[in-house]
Structure 1
């Protein structure tokens, strides 16, 4: 058993003839080296995948290339000591879909050190419904709890709450009994949805700045999950309660933020960087086990996961680049 002589994959290419992308037939010799071969069941659609599908997205490092930063499937061949044919596995992060051929393919070959065995309690479809976005949210919650956050400490702010990381953070925190204040630029449109996910209160992002300017503000948040970054991060830090932490995982609001050392010194706060790409494997396995059990984001998964095939992928990637995607989309290889 192994990789068949012909299979389908979504491939992007750029050469002297220009840029092109679409579903094509490949053979095993066109896959990269690796000690584990996988029949992919599902991948997922992320903004980074959308960028990989356009000529100036600055994600793909070489051509031709198979994008897809997430995958879940079944091992068909392995020389890695931890995996054997028949094992159900998932992969997110590392170089997958960036410099190593990714998950938009019926078969993949990769480094077994990047894999996590699919934990009991999660199907391959659910794992990809969670994907990098949900995993990043769970890492953020994990970091806050590790730094002492408890439900009785008070409200937790989630910025960019209608996005992938934000919505999963709301769902996970709700399961754990935290009071959640969800911040979004789409309050009127998405307030009911965010409350259905578990938010106690929904505020407009314009409500985040403190009433009075200054290096420190009234204590407001026991903790914060911020996949946005930018200028408003400084406002969040000013309003953290004594000993509070903010978990930062994104930069859609910008890469710079104005701030001072006062909140860190006077309130003993922490700014925690969250990296889902090269997260240590011990943490990775623990967090995926939690996502399959007590942290399973049921409220997001219950909203439904849109499923598309490889043939529908070009249109789906276009939608995510245009900001028209709603909820999570997985790509089925069956």
Structure 2
């Protein structure tokens, strides 16, 4: 095994603040006790991967490094009693692709507790059509359901709707019968969002209130926010009584400028979504839902596929905010 070489995308710091991406070949090594070696078949591209690939020390502390917070593949070697060679598995979250070499490689070595068994009815490729983005959307939908949000309650807003989390959320909510109001700054994506199942498409400027009012006219029963900042503050003020909003991103800003009035006068709830350290029981339950009743018929339309060699260009695209839907990486 040690003599075998595998291909990986590696990020190196060539000078202070200057990072380069190259395809390299590394030697396969045996996993330690409690670890598994996974032959990666597919990965996917996320914004966090782009940050790691561009030298963001808040994501990845040391270089050289291989990004890729998602991986789906087959166990090649197991040093855990819970897994056997040939098992098909999904790995998302934890430290994969951050400070542990990630899924943009033909092999990864990870702790066995990071693995989720590939659910019946879901292919390895389909699991990466979801990836962390789809998994995060699933966590958000589960939170809405657990807080009593049903299709008959009213419209659900999805902000950042053309992104990975947003587009997956639109498609899955539509599959479940919700009236989805997709919020996007990209006018050219109107038809794409309608094809994902959105009933209405709202320009982002409509949910960036600058009036300073503590409460706005109720518009949404619930919301899945992926951007944060003033958009999230506006959505909170625009919820019906008892409304629920989940939050999982901050591309529009990490600060939240609002008042307590929506929470104490309208019973609004704000729920944070974390996909990195999700407990295994919930993690497996979400993947079961994604493999079955939550799988949207538009899943394939959400995605396009690239190889390792196309990753540098795709990373630039996502950093420039021009990515639409999901990008599967064929390993």
**Do they fold alike, i.e. is TM over 0.5?**
yes
1:330 corresponds to which residue?
Answer: 328
SS where residue 298 of structure 1 aligns?
coil
2:271 matched to 1:281?
no
Judge conservation of contact 1:12–1:53 (CA < 8 Å) in 2.
yes
SS where residue 109 of structure 2 aligns?
strand
2:317 corresponds to which residue?
Answer: 319
1:86 corresponds to which residue?
Answer: 86
2:164 matched to 1:182?
no
User: 1:82–1:267: structure 2 CA closer, same or farther, 3 Å change rule?
Assistant: same
User: 1:259–1:177: structure 2 CA closer, same or farther, 3 Å change rule?
Assistant: same
User: 1:46–1:224: structure 2 CA closer, same or farther, 3 Å change rule?
Assistant: same
User: 1:34–1:96: structure 2 CA closer, same or farther, 3 Å change rule?
Assistant: farther
1:192 corresponds to which residue?
Answer: 191
Alignment of 1:18-57 (within 5 A): 19-29=19-29, 35-56=35-56
Alignment of 1:138-287 (within 5 A): 138-186=138-186, 188-208=187-207, 214-287=213-286
Judge conservation of contact 2:161–2:184 (CA < 8 Å) in 1.
yes
Deviations 1:1-25 (A, max 9, x none): x676211111122367964321111
1:101, distance to aligned residue in structure 2 (A):
0.9
Cα distance in structure 2, aligned partners of 1:210 and 1:310: 41
Cα distance in structure 1, aligned partners of 2:124 and 2:193: 25
Judge conservation of contact 2:162–2:324 (CA < 8 Å) in 1.
no
Judge conservation of contact 2:136–2:275 (CA < 8 Å) in 1.
yes
Alignment of 1:288-327 (within 5 A): 288-299=287-298, 301-303=299-301, 305-327=303-325
Cα distance in structure 2, aligned partners of 1:211 and 1:318: 31
User: 1:23–1:212: structure 2 CA closer, same or farther, 3 Å change rule?
Assistant: closer
Cα distance in structure 2, aligned partners of 1:160 and 1:59: 22
SS where residue 253 of structure 2 aligns?
coil
User: 1:226–1:16: structure 2 CA closer, same or farther, 3 Å change rule?
Assistant: closer
Judge conservation of contact 2:70–2:96 (CA < 8 Å) in 1.
yes
Deviations 1:110-149 (A, max 9, x none): 0110110111121111111111111111111100111110
TM-score (norm 1): 0.92
Judge conservation of contact 1:132–1:276 (CA < 8 Å) in 2.
yes
Judge conservation of contact 2:32–2:79 (CA < 8 Å) in 1.
no
Deviations 1:259-281 (A, max 9, x none): 11111111111100000111111
1:59, distance to aligned residue in structure 2 (A):
2.4
Cα distance in structure 1, aligned partners of 2:32 and 2:15: 23
Deviations 1:38-62 (A, max 9, x none): 1100111112212222235642211
Judge conservation of contact 1:156–1:179 (CA < 8 Å) in 2.
yes
SS where residue 289 of structure 2 aligns?
helix
* Structure 2 unmatched runs, 5+: none
1:33, distance to aligned residue in structure 2 (A):
8.2
* Structure 1 unmatched runs, 5+: none
1:201, distance to aligned residue in structure 2 (A):
0.9
User: 1:325–1:268: structure 2 CA closer, same or farther, 3 Å change rule?
Assistant: closer
SS where residue 291 of structure 1 aligns?
helix
Q: Which moved more, 1:91-100 or 1:215-224?
A: 215-224
TM-score (norm 2): 0.93
User: 1:19–1:183: structure 2 CA closer, same or farther, 3 Å change rule?
Assistant: closer
How many residue pairs were aligned?
A: 330
1:240, distance to aligned residue in structure 2 (A):
1.2
Judge conservation of contact 1:231–1:253 (CA < 8 Å) in 2.
yes
Cα distance in structure 2, aligned partners of 1:302 and 1:9: 26
